[in-house]
Amino acid sequence: MNAITKDRSDTLAPFGTRLDGVTDPVRKAAIGALHRSGLPDRRVEEWRYTSLRFLSETPLAAPAEVYDAGQIQAQLENLGLSTGPLADLPRLVFVNGRYAEPFSVLPAEVKVSFFAKTQTFGSLSAPDRDPLTALNAALASDGAQLHVPAGKNGGDVLLVSLGQTDTPVSFHPRHSVTLDEGAQLTLISIQAGQGRYLHNPVLEISVAAEANLKHVTLQTEGQDAACLATTYAQVAERGTYDSFVLGLGAALSRQEIHARLAAPFATVHVNGAQMLGGKQIGDVTSVITHAAPDCISRQTVRNVLDGHARGVFQGKVFVDRVAQKTDGYQMNQALLLSENAEIDAKPELEIYADDVKCSHGATVGALDDDQLFYLRSRGVPDAEARQILIHAFMDEALGLIEDETARALCTQMLARSFPVAGESA
């Protein structure tokens, strides 16, 4: 086929010479894969709804090492991280993909090291298959490596990534989180920034037996930014990985999560919500692999789309032949507030075991007329009634966040990006 035989290296032009002269074998292999695949276009099935043309328009340089501390401080304040309940939490702050020590507070029960020092690529990611992971492997320069020893509770930890640039740049942090047997951690990832940049993080997560990781990602990147994040999680026997992604920012975003239930009685939750307007494109893609029997997966993703925004949901549940007694559930719902908004959804079940209980559902529609009428007949003005219904729709999704601190943060940030009342009436 044309798409395969054609040399796709030209799609890498925005990165210029940054991909040349690499000697590290892992990076070299990744660059090789990248040259073969190029950046994906919409002919690639996994990318049929999300175009990366946004990236090809401008050269993306490596970010400068210096940054404006005042602006970073202002960003942290804007995110509510300087005062209030979040101010006291341990935090690892990255600016343009590099660890920023002055703004960070190391956690007590969690061992922390950095990719810049140890440079270890984990074994969970698939740079051969996922071009954006290959791009990360090729260009990663720093990242947090968190390790919670057996039986310890790491508490709440913030992982904050801030972009701050005047010229177009890209940064590719490489994070990892390892929970030993019976360990616990609540990780709150915050992705934010100012300027035109590509944030392309890869996060590898390993949850050992009986361990429990709660992971909430708040994506509120700058309006000119692209955030293409990939997470790989592996969960061992009776372990739990509970993930929630809230997408609010960025011109183009994709949160891609690969979760693998590797041993019996493991559980994953891959929940999320997006609220988009303007010309935003937000993509939530997940692949949940049941590789062992008796595992549970749950997924609920809700989209609210206004303006010319486009929401994408691709959710695949793969059940291996050995994964008998799998219990999988997936729900995707979208609310369209404007005539120009669009939702593309592709919930997918690929099942090779017979004794399973898997289902998925998807609904798309506008606000319910009956519900609106109910509120209006009780004297609630139209605009307010709409707000109430949208709030209710999103609240149900946010209710899936177990950690209260994280939920409060998400609720607060969501309220800020609410569409202007009555605009779409």
Partner 1 sequence: MPAVTETREAVEKLGQSSYKWGFETDIDMDVAPKGLNEDTIRLISARKEEPEWLLEWRLAAYRAWLKTTEPEWAKVSYPPIDYQDLHYYAAPKKKPGPKSLEEVDPELLRTYEKLGIPLHEQAMLAGVELPEGETARPPVAVDAVFDSVSVVTTFRKTLEEAGVIFCPISEAVRDYPDLVRKYLGSVVPAGDNFYAALNSAVFTDGSFVFVPKGVRCPMELSTYFRINAKNTGQFERTLIVVEDGASVSYLEGCTAPMRDENQLHAAVVELVAMEDASIKYSTVQNWYPGDENGRGGIYNFVTKRGACRGARSKISWTQVETGSAITWKYPSCILQGEGSVGEFYSVAVTNNHQQADTGTKMIHIGRNTRSTIIAKTISAGHSDSTYRGLVRVLPKASGARNFTQCDSLLIGDQCGAHTVPYIENRNMGARIEHEATTSKISEDQLFYCRQRGLSEEDAVGLIVNGFCRDVLKELPMEFAVEAQKLLQISLEGSVG
Residue 177 to residues 118, 204, 206, Cα–Cα distance (Å): 14, 6, 6
Interaction of residue 275 with partner 1, rule CB under 8 A: no
The minimum distance between CB 367 and partner 1, in angstroms, equals 9
Residue among 209 and 351 whose Cβ is closer to partner 1: 351
Q: Nearest Cα to 299, choosing from 345, 336, 337, 263?
A: 345
- Looking only at the bridges linking them, the beta strands covering 111-114 and 144-148 are antiparallel
Residue 359 contacts partner 1 per CB under 8 A: yes
Q: Does 360 bind partner 1 (CB under 8 A)?
A: yes
354 binds partner 1 (CB under 8 A): yes
Q: Does 324 bind partner 1 (CB under 8 A)?
A: yes
> Cα(200)–Cα(106) distance, rounded to whole angstroms?
24
Q: State the minimum distance, in angstroms, from the CB of residue 341 to partner 1.
A: 6
In a 3-state reduction of DSSP, which class is residue 135?
helix
Contact 244, 271 (CB under 8 A): yes
Tokens of 424: 């779409």
User: With binding defined as CB under 8 A, does residue 296 bind partner 1?
Assistant: no
The smaller minimum CB distance to partner 1, of residues 20 and 369, is found at 369
Query: Looking at 51, 338, 371, 411, which residue binds partner 1 (CB under 8 A)?
Result: 338
Footprint on residues 365-384 left by partner 1 (CB under 8 A): 365-366
Give the chain's length. Answer: 425
The yes or no reply on residue 60 touching partner 1 (CB under 8 A) is no
Tell me how far, at minimum, the Cβ of 297 lies from partner 1, in Å. Answer: 13
**Whole-number minimum distance, CB 308 to partner 1, in Å?**
11
Identify which of residues 157 and 336 has a Cβ nearer to partner 1 in the complex: 336
Please pick, from the candidates 12, 79, 356, 413, the single residue that binds partner 1 as defined by CB under 8 A. 356
Whichever of 61 and 358 has its CB closer to partner 1, that residue is: 358
Distance of alpha carbon 10 from alpha carbon 38, whole angstroms: 7
Q: Do strands 202-207 and 197-199 pair parallel, antiparallel, or not at all (unpaired)?
A: unpaired
Q: Are 291 and 332 in contact (CB under 8 A)?
A: no
- Which residues are CB-neighbours of 144 under 8 A, at least 6 positions away? 92, 94, 99, 112, 114, 115, 159, 173, 175, 176
Judged by CB under 8 A, which stretch of 147-155, 215-223, 356-364, 387-395 contacts partner 1? 356-364
Binding-site ranges for partner 1 (CB under 8 A): 1-2, 45, 321, 324, 334, 336-366
